[in-house]
Amino acid sequence: MKKRVFWLVILLLFGYLVFQKIADRERPYGATKVDYQTIEIEIARDQIYQGDLLLVNKENPVHEAGVKNDVVRLSQNEELVKGYRLLDPTIAVSESVAKVFLEMVDAAQQDNVSHFILNSGYRDMEEQEQLYEEMGPEYAMPGGYSEHNVGSALDIGSTMMKMEHAPEGKWLEDNSWKYGFILRYPKDKAAITGTAYEPWHFRYVGLPHSAIMKNHNFSLEEYLNYVKEQRHLSVPVDGKTYEITYYAVEQDMTIEVPIDSSYMISGDNMGGVIVTTSHFDKEEKE
């Protein structure tokens, strides 16, 4: 009887060790093993085509699922047009992005920078294709290959002068990251982005991603490659700690996230998703 109990204990211990080995192997590379309660969330395969971190360029077109579902015409929503002008009353953009843009414009006004004009936002595929045919490949992307087809890209101008010389352009280049925006096509990244310098084109990617990109001088292409290579990042920003994890997605899957953290999921439009969880640091809570 004692011998039977002994072997049962050995068997259970062996099973536990095998389970831990599998769990450690499946944990994203670089992730820290911690003890916390988690919940499972489902990741559908088409999630790779949705979210704020989509890479849209000549090789990676926008999928139907990637178009923001809260696009609104700004002139019909007066509460979204304060502190800046619209070039055209038909300009539309994601409502959630427009609200963050308002916060950014208000912050710029506190620094006496206030001559903003929004020249373009969301374009549907037909509008983008028409622009491409009229302006040619040197000045426009074909329908489906432009960030403007998503709803989270803005062409921002100054009513005073060209953006490369305007205080508005300088302020945005220095501060837009604080609000989740990036200068999408910087002058020194043309060889990487495949697009010439556009000092007016800003794209919403959200925090902490914009902060990391600013700190490392990453283009979006470079940042997404960095996250994929690292697999897991832990980054403190403004009293919060963000855990950023990359997953390759070949089929529907489930992942675990801490139960006491908020989380965001974005595809990269290239076969993977990036899960970002965040929690306030203890000192910030106290």
Catalytic residues: 198
- The CA distance from 74 to 95, in Å, is 8
CA-based R_g, the chain, Å: 23
HSE at residue 194, side-chain half, CA atoms within 13 A, is: 14
Question: 244 - beta bridge partners?
Answer: 233, 276
Rounded distance between C-alpha atoms, residue 146 and residue 56, angstroms: 6
CA torsion sign for 213, 49, 172, 211 is negative
Nearest to 129 by CA among 143, 116, 115: 143
Beta strands in 131-227 (DSSP E): 153-158, 181-183, 201-204
* Rounded Cα–Cα distance for residues 222 and 199 (Å): 19
Walk across the sheet containing 240-248 and list its strands: 232-237, 240-248, 272-280, 262-267
What does the chain come to in residues? 286
